[in-house]
Amino acid sequence: MNETRNTPTNQSVQPVPLAEHLTGPVRRCRICNYRCELSPGQSGVCQVRHNQAGTLRTVNYGLVSKADLERIESRGFYHLFPGVKVFSLGGYGANFPVPAGQTGYLNIPGGSAARYLPVEKLARFVIEQQCRGIIFAYNEPAMWFEYLLDACKSIRANGMFTAMVTNGYMTLEALEMVGHYIDGLLVEVNAFSERSFNILTGQDNFQKVLETARRAQHKYKSHLEISTKIVPGVNDSDSEIELLATWIKQGLGENVAWHLSSPQPGMQARLQQIKQIGLNCGLNYIYLKDAPPVNEFEEDLAALFDSTVNGNTYCHKCHRKLIDRQNAEVSTPGLSGNKCANCGTILAVHNTLWKL
């Protein structure tokens, strides 16, 4: 474990709800699957939870690192309340390695540079801005667990939806606390082998991520989408992709949206091949980031074979356009609730506050 680095302010210091008492003043944090055991004076891997004289405390409560008003698709959700305006925000702390350029989420700024947003003010702001919901993103939302929990309860109580973009490494105990108040999760499943998971995160047991996704969908009835960043030579073998795609189909459903991207340029041809593997495994909605556009006159023809052309969504049964994302305004000409308005096929689209 590490010595304390982040400097707390009074209002941002809160007790950790899932602190387990071990020998003497040693405490185990059960927010994420690192399950750090901390002696007094020590900090967890995330650098935002500390053992202060035998009490586990977080120091990032309500401190905002980044916030934006945007369309929900900007945060990667394509089948959750398509096209609506959301408030996206993130806090501080990371449990997985942070890509270069995103290290701003690691260190809490001191003094007046820290931006504290009380939960009541958050709900008021989201209502005033006429957002339909809130997305926790940018840094890992579980690192902001105490605030995430309070904020999700408040936002839902005010008639808006909640969602998060997560690496899925939250414990099942933590999910048990927040699961009923989360409407949607975009889970980053970047590995389907211990080797890949270890290279990408330094951790073992990629199954923990899968458990989180499955539990969120099955027990808490949260909407689910999966994203995978393809790293050549690490997680892009045909066999690993096949296993992952088959797991999505069998564990979550054939209509769950799967988003493929790569941090490495020049990967479009390989991403297309990976998409084809996913389609062959029986997945119906696979989106490629920055895929080359199809000529608009050929789009209807292409949609006979592919339900996600030009970022638009087509019914995989009758091929009618369900969601149009080509213009500044997203429209849903072919949706009727969570069904295709033309043929009645039930889709993995969620656009109600009811957990179905």
Q: Which is nearer to ligand SF4, 16 or 349 (CB)?
A: 16
- Can you say whether residue 315 is alpha, beta or left, with left for phi > 0 and alpha for psi between -120 and 50 degrees? beta
What is d(CA 2, CA 173) in angstroms, rounded to the nearest whole number? 24
CA distance linking residue 170 with residue 220, whole number of Å: 15
Residue 164 in the binding site for ligand SF4 (CB under 6 A)? no
Candidates 12, 27, 32, 201: give the one binding ligand SF4 (CB under 6 A): 32
Query: Near ligand SF4 by CB under 6 A, which window of 32-40, 78-86, 201-209, 267-275?
Result: 32-40
The minimum distance between CB 13 and ligand SF4, in angstroms, equals 14
| Closest to 250 measured CA to CA, from 212, 207, 214, 277 | 214
**Residue 59 in the binding site for ligand SF4 (CB under 6 A):** no
Token pair in block for residue 206: 């990629």
Q: Which of 162, 160, 168, 220 is nearest to 191 (CA)?
A: 168
Q: Which residue's structure tokens are 């990667």? A: 76
CB-side neighbour CA atoms (13 Å) of 83:
16
Question: In the chain, which ranges are continuous DSSP H helix?
Answer: 119-128, 145-157, 172-178, 194-201, 207-218, 238-247, 268-280, 299-302
Q: Which stretch binds ligand SF4 (CB under 6 A): 39-47, 147-155, 179-187, 291-299?
A: 39-47
Mask 287-326, x = binds ligand SF4 (CB under 6 A)? ----------------------------------------
Instruction: Report, in Å, the least distance between residue 40 CB and ligand SF4.
Output: 14
- Site for ligand SF4 (CB under 6 A): which residue of 36, 64, 123, 288? 36
Q: Tell which positions 61-120 bind ligand SF4, by CB under 6 A.
A: 95
Give the nearer residue to ligand SF4 in terms of CB position, either 139 or 222: 139
Binding site for ligand SF4 (CB under 6 A): 29, 31-32, 34-36, 44-46, 49, 95
